[in-house]
Amino acid sequence: MLRQYKLSDYNFRLVLWVLALSVLGILVIGSANESYQMRQIWGLAGGMALMVVVSLFDFTWVLNFYWLIYLAATALLLSVLVAGDSAGGATRWIIIAGLRFQPSDITKIMLILFFAKFYEVREDRVNRLRVILSSVALIGIQLALIMREPDLSTTIVVAMVFCVLIFMAGLSYKIVCGIVIVSIPVAVILVSILMQPDQKLINNYQMTRVYAWLWPEDYPQDAYQQQNSIKAIGSGQLYGKGLNNDDVGSVKNGNFIPEPQTDFIFAVVGEELGFLGCCAVLLLEFLITLECLMTGRRAKSLSGTLICSGMASLVLFQSFVNMAVTTGVIPNTGITLPFMSYGLTSLISFCIGIGFVLNVGLQSRRYRT
C-alpha cells in the first residue's frame, strides 16, 4: 500500500502550479464575496494535505478495488436522488454528519480510477464489441444518474473524459472514425428534436438557456448572467480594476451576477485582473494539464497513463466549459473552474486527483527496476 520513494522524483512543479492557481482563486473569491474566503482557505489546506497523502499511496494497490470504487460512485449518485439537498432548482448535494458536498465532483475522480483499471485488465481486448458495449453501459449508468439531478454540464464533461480514456486505452482509429461518421447525422437529428417546443430530452429551463444564448434580447431574464459576465470581462481591459475595488458598477458590488464566486468566477477575474489576469489563469490551467500529460507518458503501466490522461482531460474540459460560458461561447450551464471557483468538494476532489497523478510520477518507467 505504501512504498518508499525518492524526494527528487516528486513533481514539485505540478504542486506549485496547483498551489499558485488555488491561491489566486482564494484572492479572487475574497474579492467577490469575503464571507467565503476563509472556508476556501481551509478547503485548500485540507485538499493539499490529502493530495500529499494520496500521492504516497501505491495507486496500483488502490486500483485493485476498482469495482468497489465503481459501486461506491454509483451509491453516491443514487443517494442524491433519494435524499439529496436542493438549491437553485437542482438536487446535486447530500448532507452527511452536517457536511454538505456534491457527489458528482467526487465521482469524476472515482470513474477515472475505475476505467483506468477496467481498460488495463482488458488491454488486449479494448476493440472487441463486448468490451466497448460494456464500458459504454457502465458509463451510461453514471451519466444517467448525473443527468437526473439535473446536471447537464457535469454530464457533458464526464462523457468527454470517458471518450479520452477509451481512446487512450487503445481504441482503433477505424472505430473512432466510424463513430464520428455516425455521430454527425445523429447530432443533427438531436438538434432538430431539441428545437421543437414539446421536446422531452432535456428540461424546459435548460432549453430556455439555449434560447437565451441564441437570442439574448428576447430572453433578458435568462440571458442577463452571461451578458453581464461578458461586459464585466470586457470592462477589465488590460490590467483590470483591481481586487477588492469599490466600483459600484462592478459585478460583485452591483450584484449583477448572483454568487459570482462560484460558476462565474472567471468574470470576476476578467473585471478585476483584466486580460493579463485571464491569461494567467489560462496559463496555469494549461500547465497543470501539461504536467499531467507528461507524467502519463512516463507511467509504468496503462492504468497510470489513463489516470494522468483522465485528470488532464478533466481539468482541460471543465476549464473550457466554465470559461466558454462566462464569455458567451456556449449556453449558460453551471460548472466550477478547477482550483479557482469556490466549492470545497470540487477543490478537494481535484486535489485528490492530482495526488494520484503525483503517485504515478513517483513510479514512472525511468525508475522501475
Distance CA 270, CA 362 (A): 37
Give the count of domains, the chain: 1
Higher pLDDT, 28 or 186: 28
**115 belongs to a structural domain:** yes
Most confident by average pLDDT, 130-144, 211-225, 244-258:
130-144
Q: Which pLDDT score is estimated for 212?
A: 81
**192 belongs to a structural domain:** no
**195 belongs to a structural domain:** no
Q: Which pLDDT score is estimated for 101?
A: 80
* pLDDT over threshold 50, residue 367: no
* pLDDT over threshold 60, residue 116: yes
**252 belongs to a structural domain:** yes
Q: Which pLDDT score is estimated for 187?
A: 76
Provide the pLDDT confidence category of residue 82 given band limits of 50, 70 and 90. confident
**42 belongs to a structural domain:** yes
Q: Which domain holds residue 319?
A: 23-171+203-364
**322 belongs to a structural domain:** yes
**3 belongs to a structural domain:** no
Provide the pLDDT confidence category of residue 200 given band limits of 50, 70 and 90. low
Provide the pLDDT confidence category of residue 368 given band limits of 50, 70 and 90. very low
**186 belongs to a structural domain:** no
Which residues are paired to 57 by β-bridges?
2
pTM for the structure as a whole: 0.92
